[in-house]
Structure 1
């Protein structure tokens, strides 16, 4: 890999890590997101009077957690700002990042006033400020060494060397976990109290939960913590099974001894026994894998994948047994419906009501339980012939997402279990992590290959049509749209909520602005999709682009549409903010939905046409959709939209998002330049979008609304002439079919010059 490509990769990694961690800090500081409006003056007065709390040992962990929260934050942003350049640039970056970290801390604490379940104190600001300073200092001391370490990961390693590096990274994580929550003590009095309170357990298995299922779960997860470390150490090839077992056991004993000085942790000899068992399992499994891989044929076969997939199936059985024991299922409908409220629960909301250490423990347990499944599936896919790997990869990804969902849905029927969307998310991420690590190890050469280079072929620059033609298309399409809107607003059969859109005082200008807004809404996400941005950088690039997308669209709509029509969708302002800020931000959140889905549709078509796009090009849109759901549904300022959505709201939201994606995908297929052999398939996909879209719309919209003294469906409300003349279901679906085709055709017409602007020139023949 050349130096520039390596530098770009490190830059993208640092940007991705810094942005993701910043979002994590903000989200984690506001969970459970129970927003309560507060007048601005009152909020300022309350913030000026926040107290400084006297913390005892019980609150020491919370203070340390806030301090540690900001250390990686400032460290990563120092890496982004001071990655290149000498000490002068690093000092300038520090002078910028320290005030930014303090400002973020103050901003978070102030925002927490609007979330009453959060505690606001000067202690948090002080701890986070100190954490920001420590992160900057850590970069100034060890930043260059960290960059060298990061670059080394991008080099081609032999499998043994890669496993060794992974082992030490994993061990570092285990060490950090075992000393959390860092309420350290050397006081003999506090150690005596710890023993008296039962947090020093010298009798094996005496500290386990009374319930057999909980005890089994705790033992299994403690074993799983140590098995990966021994397995990775065993891949060295020079260490015997006994030596690896001894190294892992000694590490477990040492860490258990360290826990004696962590006041809130339980020092239990059972953990040493489970560590010994995990070390034995990992050591034996690592040796067996090494011997098997050394004898393996270099030619993958279908039969060679049988063992990994069989082990994956067995692990599925272990997972189901662990999470469903004792299998006392209840199948009565009332019980199940009462427990389905977990679907609308926000990620990590449940963890807020426990301690930080408990949250970290549950995160590790859920991820570690599903990581072996991902690793086994990666092993199986790697053993398949090349032509089978693509479909097998898709099925593996589906299995990693489906199994946690099956587990959580099964727990809905178990009275002693608690189903939670957070557990599904963590289990899915654990499976993905296991798959990624195993894939990286399996792809590494068995022996080192010094001097190996990655050669990238040169490609011709994309052929772009003249800007004048796109400008002409913009003028023509905007003019045609404005005329259609102006005329349509005066037709009696058009739904009344559409007829009321234009401001009667300047209907012509309003129609033109509304047409420009429609053009912008249809085209800008395609432009975002075509930007040649690395996958990691796109995680930050796309949200910024969608923010611009929503902001510009709101400004155009604000000039074209009366305020009452704007409020119909997002509600009247309730936060007493100055100007149009609240309405504008609510509209930006609402427009995240079409923006992200048009972007996904464009990327899907580009990927189908052969553009090499990584998974991050698609996953980058998911946070925007999640934020839109929270702002539009959870924190809605009006029921005008929410009442149209079926219940429960989250599955209905997913169905409606799928419906929009189908519409946008069909339009993108028509707008995109396709080969002659691909065009029939595109038309088939467009044809299928009508029945599939209708089904998703049926699932996503409310079927019966009791309002205005009448009963009607959401589609009847949207597509009928007015509230006094609701169309029959047959007429409504006929109107929808026509509107479906019209929207696809209009979008395809608006987008086609921009898809063709990104087409690749044909490769030259040798």
Structure 2
């Protein structure tokens, strides 16, 4: 399987998931809906279309599926593969329609399958056209710049969607009315149109070159302006005409600017327009707008024609921003995360703006766009004017790929590289999906506690269940990350609170996306600090004046995360301390007093923060649940919150033991510990919660409230114990699973303690030092990094393995004397020019390769970084024939 095929299959998987979700939304399945009458209507009725928007939506939904499924097909196998894609695509559409029969909110009809097939055929036709358009400035043996073509296509879609033409005199009049009869000009709309024209020009440069870009840009602008009056719901207004004109004039000027600077100007313009459009009309509402927590709901509800136009515009902005970052040599992963965070902040701001409908969907679109771009090729000429090396001949590629790979070269030497971030994230997503299924079924069972039944968003929507399971897994994963941070810190008393707060904020974000705000407030409490400071003067007159000036909303922005972190922080801290003890055990040869002393020292550093969390969450709580349920003056005169912390510590130790059970012996120890912990945890729970709570005329215990179905139907002691065993076992397993999945990323590391003497050095520490000797930072050019990534894709290797392969070939090609002579002649290497941008890259070589690179550096009188850079250059010159 070629890397390009793998990339296209990943995109097809994303498209299939989106099509399935869009077709089965809102996922409210009812078996009673599939009666005989419904089936009869499904097979007999061929109308089924409520509006033109539904027809267009059914066609457009399958166009991307056909296109991306076909673009991964080799040209010589196009005909049979296209037939297979069409067959399976139509069968897929039919299955979706059958499933819609059991969703009362959907209207299943066989005619929809026909329109889906039309969309699939259009996608195949577009892909076929893409195969035959090699005249777009491309060399025959190089792939099309798919990412650039996607940006250009999205620009056209943003201007002309829904792409439903009609030759209707009244339609033309209505489309031209904003331009001729009621001309209105908007600076922001004109700026958006001009920036869009600039992005299209940048794409044309990548496809056709700078010389032809301006002429084709003018032609594209004129064609789009001429087509707008003939497209449904698309208007031709004065702002668009002025914006297109200004954009073309600006592009003529920008062609004189360096490519990287031009990309930066467009990038700033896109971000500015996106931000300004998101904050229109810049007026605060008197109340707050509800946040849409169901993903993609605003796309699937209302007018499909209008929704598709808004979606195309947003997708163009997100894709163009990330694409321009890539062209400037930036990290797609970092840029996508930053853009997703910025879009999330803009959606939160819309809660307080007039006429806006904030939604959680937009940052999800950003992530999906980033994943798609990471799978698409974009091998057109770089924007800085440099040319990539020509593609290596096929026979040389095969010879290069056939060279044996050393076991140490392909195997990872660290946990992070053994299981990359991408693989671990996929494992988390799949695990959460598997856990969401039983949770989704559980909340619908009779006798389930009402507080669990009403926990999730959207009447326990499946996506809400998935995110909620992610939040539970994050507790273990966040503790693994926190343990890694603590174990590396010289000042754990400072690292513990900051890392615990950060981990709690991730939990708050995930819970806010999956759990109702009422459920969060029931546990964490409401925001009452402003009231106490301004009405009770608990912090004095100066604080009262300050809080009156700030207002309750601004105080709540700080109070809410602090209260939540105080409630959840101890769980992360105790799990992290238990994980740290295990890390110390793995790193030390003698796991006796030294480990105990280290863990005790860390616990002492955590103690003041645990006491602060207790004071905020329990002593200064603002929810009746914590005030009434926690026992006051329990056994030995100790308050119940201390017993609750002891319960959390016991569960944390149990979870770490289960997570690190990797042999029969450790699994037996973990099982034995889990059995012993059950009665201890049950006793601690009884001591932590009040025996009698009187509320709403009822009397019940704290355990009844926590585990019972409601306050009136009380369960027996045996039933409560059985439920607690299930809850405790589930918590331990979920925390352990999160720890286990994240441990390869945040596994055993060398702490900041004094180095162990060589004669007692542990194998893990010795391996870490050996790894440090083979790892160094090299400064490579953007051209070299891009080339190495292409090599990695062609050979289906990770980046570090590709570098090792390149070093092997380059160093074995010449004798030692020749290598020293060539590496010491800087005039041969344009990569050393100050004008070239160099990017720091961590290089992880084999031990023999690292020793030879350092030896060559010493003989040539240059640094190891420069030696590495020139070695890569040698390899590039050799295979491109430019030596």
TM-score normalised according to structure 1 size: 0.58
Q: 1:194 aligns with which of 171, 185, 200?
A: 171
CA distance in structure 2 between the partners assigned to 1:106 and 1:697 by the alignment: 56
Q: CA deviation at 1:199?
A: 1.7
- 1:522 aligns with none
Q: 2:54 aligns with which of 51, 62, 73?
A: 62
1:449 is matched with which residue? 389
Q: 1:390-469 counterparts in 2 under 5 A?
A: 400-415=339-354, 417-423=356-362, 446-450=386-390, 458-459=407-408
- The match for 1:180 is 161
Aligned position for 1:339: 288
CA–CA distance in structure 2, aligned partners of residues 434 and 554 of structure 1:
33
Structure 1 residues 587 and 696, CA gap change in structure 2 (3 angstroms): farther
Shift of 1:228: 0.5
Contact 1:550–1:588 (CA under 8 A) maintained in structure 2: yes
Distance in 2 (CA, whole Å) between partners of 1:541 and 1:271 is 46
* 1:55-94 superposed matches below 5 A: 59-73=51-65, 76=68
**Distance (Å, rounded) in 2 between the aligned partners of 1:244 and 1:98:** 40
How far residue 251 of structure 1 moved from its aligned partner, in angstroms, is 0.7
Counterpart selection for 1:259 from 228, 231, 234: 228
77, 85, 94: which one aligns with 1:102: 94
Q: TM-score, normalised by structure 2?
A: 0.51
Alignment partners' CA distance in 1, 2:248 and 2:600:
54
1:21 alignment partner in structure 2: 15
* Deviation sequence 1:410-460 (CA, Å, 0-9, x none): 444443555444456557888999999999987988222135789987537
Offset of residue 249 of structure 1: 1.9
Contact kept, 8 Å, 2:152 with 2:203, in 1: the verdict is: no
8 Å CA contact 1:662–1:693 kept in 2: the answer is no
Deviation, 1:169, is 3.5
Q: Name 2:254's counterpart in structure 1.
A: 285
Q: How far apart, in 1, do the equivalents of 2:611 and 2:108 lie? A: 47
Task: Select the residue among 739, 746, 754 that pairs with 2:654.
Answer: 746
Q: Do 1:720 and 1:726's aligned partners in 2 also have CA atoms closer than 8 Å?
A: yes
Alignment match, 2:199: 228
Return the alpha-carbon distance in structure 2 between the equivalents of residues 642 and 275 of structure 1.
Answer: 50
Cα separation, partners in 2 of 1:663 and 1:272, compared to 1, 3 Å: farther
Residues 51-86 of structure 1, C-alpha deviation per residue, up to 9 Å, x if partnerless?
Answer: 847589x92342132023124336656788999989
CA spacing shift, 1:259–1:534, aligned 2, 3 Å: same
User: What is the Cα deviation at residue 88 of structure 1?
Assistant: 7.2
Q: Which runs of 5+ in 2 are unaligned?
A: 489-505, 528-555, 590-594, 663-739, 749-763, 772-845, 849-883
- What does the per-residue CA deviation read over 1:180-215, in whole Å, with 9 as the maximum and x for residues that have no partner? 3243335xxxx112134x12348469454xxx7xx3
Larger Rg: 2
Deviation at 1:339, TM superposition (A): 0.8
Residues 43 and 80 of structure 1, relative CA distance in 2, 3 Å threshold: farther
Is the 1:15–1:80 Cα contact (8 Å) retained in structure 2? yes
Segments of 5+ residues of structure 1 without an aligned counterpart are: 294-306, 383-388, 465-525, 574-581, 611-622, 706-710
Cα deviation digits, residues 651-691 of structure 1 (max 9, x gap) = 889978988777666655554576579x9799869966994
User: Structure 1 pair 123/97, CA: closer, same or farther in 2 (3 Å)?
Assistant: closer
What secondary structure sits across from 1:19 in the alignment?
helix
1:514 paired residue number:
none
Considering only aligned residues, what root-mean-square deviation do their CA atoms show, in Å? 6.5
Instruction: Give the SS at the match of 1:713.
Output: helix
Farther off after superposition, 409-418 or 433-442: 433-442
Instruction: Tell whether the 8 Å contact from 2:63 to 2:120 is kept in structure 1 after alignment.
Output: yes
Cα distance in 2 between the residues matched to 1:156 and 1:444: 20
Matched, 1:594 2:565: no
Question: Which residue of structure 2 lines up, in the alignment, with residue 712 of structure 1?
Answer: 625
- 2:496 is aligned to none
Give matches, 1:27-38, under 5 Å: 27-31=21-25, 33=26, 38=30
Q: Are the equivalent residues in 1 in contact too, given 2:577–2:602 (CA < 8 A)?
A: no
Q: Determine the C-alpha separation between the residues in 2 that align with 1:71 and 1:539.
A: 29
Query: Within 2, Cα distance between the matches of 1:185 and 1:377?
Result: 38
Contact 2:289 2:351 in 1 (8 A): yes
Number of residue pairs matched by the alignment: 599
d(CA) in 2 for partners of 1:235, 1:659 = 53
1:222–1:358 CA distance, 2 compared to 1 (3 A): farther
Query: Structure 1 CA distance, aligned partners of 2:359 and 2:484?
Result: 36
In the alignment, the residues of structure 2 paired with residue 93 and residue 320 of structure 1 have an alpha-carbon distance, to the nearest angstrom, of 40
The secondary structure found in structure 2 opposite 1:361 is helix
Q: 2:181, 2:256 → 1: CA distance?
A: 30
Give the Cα separation in 1 of the matches to 2:336 and 2:260: 28
CA distance, structure 2, for counterparts of residue 207 and residue 704 of structure 1: 56
Residue among 289, 303, 311 paired with 1:355: 303
